[in-house]
């Protein structure tokens, strides 16, 4: 048996360091919100000719459409973000590129979202997450017949939520990852995965408690020692599924997979190193 609980302070310090970096980055850099939230348009064009990025930027400046950003995603693929435009304006833009650079332009994607929709999405998702958290709290407190289990699990979940947000804002800083509805899906997945993992450890503690009158620290240490291999193996399999997606996935799915990857790691970490130590603290206070 390994005495995991002895190093509770170390785990909390590690978490606090990562949380601080993340929260600092969130405040300082914030996020780039995708058109799902801000409204606006994105067009993705595939050209048949190599075109210089800055050249394209300068030439398109003159057109009547407000260009927010231009990214070269691939050799001849550009993604252009603009203020909300309709399908006719998109046609103009395409024609302009065609004429100015005398290249064929294939349209890969054209999305346009009205600004009102974004607010709505954020609010609703936020409410759904809160309800999900409350549901988890009630469910765990109910199955384990103790409120402290529920509270500890929810703390760990909120911890993972904040870590993921913080790390994503770093990804925004370095790789200009956007917050879109896929990211929201990743956040929610992380939360459910985190709870899933925590329940497995809690289940073990409950199991030992049935047959033993030893103190909660010893039981927790026993449970952690027994479940550690399973926890690592389990997240390893998910990580093995996700890494190829990060490496090979198309633009839209790559950051999604990366967010899930961060979520899996923090979700695995938080169960033995946040949820269980917290449970021990709560139980001892009684």
Partner 1 sequence: MKNRLPKFSTFAFTILIIFVLWANIPNSIPIKFSLFGKKIDTAIPLLKIDTVIFGKKIQKNFQTKLGLDLKGGSHLLFQADTSKIPAADKKEAVESARNIIERRVNFYGVSEPSVQTITSNDTYRISVDLPGVGNIADAIKLIGQTAQLNFTEQASSEAKIATQSPPLFNITKPTGLTGKDVKKATVQFDNNTGQPVVNLEFSKKGAALFEKITGRNIGKPVGIFIDNLVISAPVVQQKITGGSAIITGQFTVDEAKNLATAINSGALPIPVKLIEQRNIGPTLGKEAIQRSMIAGIIGLISVVSFMIIYYGRLGIIASFGLLIYGLISMAIFRAIPIVFTLPGIAGFILSIGMAVDSNILIFERIKEEQRKGKDFRTAFAVGFGKAIDAIKDANIATLLVAFILFNPFNWDFFPQFGLIRGFALTLSIGVLTSLFTGVVITKKIIQIVFINNKNK
User: Which 28-47 residues touch partner 1, going by CB under 8 A?
Assistant: 44, 46
Q: Which of 80, 156, 182, 274 binds partner 1 (CB under 8 A)?
A: 182
Rounded distance between C-alpha atoms, residue 245 and residue 248, angstroms: 5
Among 95, 119, 196, 284, binds partner 1 (CB under 8 A): 196
Closest by CA position to 70, among listed 180, 179, 176: 176
Considering the rule CB under 8 A, would residue 160 count as an interface residue with partner 1? Answer: no
Between 71 and 90, how does the x/- string for binding to partner 1 read (CB under 8 A)?
---------------xxx--
Alpha helices (H) along the chain: 8-28, 35-38, 53-61, 87-101, 115-143, 147-175, 181-211, 216-248, 251-270, 276-285
Shortest Å distance, C-beta 203 to partner 1: 4
Stretch 133-152: interaction string toward partner 1, x if CB under 8 A: --xx--xx--x---------
Nearest to 102 by CA among 160, 44, 47: 47
User: Could you give phi then psi for residue 43, rounded to 5 degrees?
Assistant: -120, 145
Task: Work out whether 92 is an interface residue with partner 1 (CB under 8 A).
Answer: no
Kindly tell me which residue out of 93, 113, 156, 258 binds partner 1, with binding defined by CB under 8 A: 113
- 283/264 Cα distance (integer angstroms): 27
Beta bridge partners of 42: 81, 111
Closest distance of CB 62 from partner 1, Å: 23
187 sits near partner 1 (criterion: CB under 8 A): no
Phi then psi dihedrals of residue 283, to 5 deg: -70, -35
193 binding partner 1? (CB under 8 A): yes
Rule CB under 8 A: say whether 262 interacts with partner 1.
Answer: no
Strand partners, 80: 43, 70
Which of 173, 234, 281, 282 touches partner 1 (CB under 8 A)? Answer: 234
Using CB under 8 A as the binding rule, whether residue 124 contacts partner 1 is answered as: yes
| Binds partner 1 by CB under 8 A, chosen from 167, 204, 266, 272 | 204
Based on CB atoms, which residue is closest to partner 1, 17 or 127?
127
Among 75, 102, 116, 211, binds partner 1 (CB under 8 A): 116
With binding defined as CB under 8 A, does residue 237 bind partner 1? yes
- Yes or no: say if 183 and 255 are a contact pair by the CB < 8 Å rule: yes
Is residue 78 within 8 Å of 70, Cβ to Cβ? yes
């Amino acid at each position: 048996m390994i005495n995991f609980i002895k190093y509770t302070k170390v785990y909390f310090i590690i978490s606090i360091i990562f949380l601080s970096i993340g929260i600092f980055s969130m405040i300082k850099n914030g996020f780039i919100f995708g058109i799902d939230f801000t409204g606006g348009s994105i067009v993705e064009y595939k050209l048949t000719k190599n075109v210089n990025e800055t050249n394209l930027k300068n030439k398109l400046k003159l057109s009547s459409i407000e260009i927010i950003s231009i990214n070269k995603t691939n050799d001849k693929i550009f993604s252009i973000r603009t203020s909300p435009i309709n399908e006719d304006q998109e046609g103009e833009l395409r024609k302009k590129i065609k004429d100015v650079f005398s290249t064929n332009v294939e349209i890969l994607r054209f999305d346009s979202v009205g600004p009102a929709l974004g607010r709505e999405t954020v609010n609703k998702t936020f409410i759904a997450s809160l309800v999900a958290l409350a549901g988890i709290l009630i469910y765990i407190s109910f199955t384990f017949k103790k409120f402290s289990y529920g509270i500890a699990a929810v703390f760990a979940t909120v911890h993972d939520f904040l870590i993921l947000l913080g790390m994503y804002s770093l990804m925004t800083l370095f790789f200009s990852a956007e917050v879109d509805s896929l990211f929201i899906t990743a956040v929610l997945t992380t939360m459910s995965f985190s709870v899933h993992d925590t329940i497995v450890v809690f289940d073990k503690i409950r199991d030992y408690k049935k047959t033993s009158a030893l103190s909660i620290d010893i039981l927790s240490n026993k449970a952690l020692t027994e479940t550690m291999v399973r926890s690592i193996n389990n997240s390893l399999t998910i990580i093995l599924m996700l890494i190829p997606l990060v490496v090979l996935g198309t633009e839209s799915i790559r950051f999604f997979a990366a967010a899930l990857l961060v979520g899996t790691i923090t979700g695995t970490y938080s169960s033995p190193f946040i949820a269980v130590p917290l449970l021990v603290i709560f139980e001892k206070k009684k």
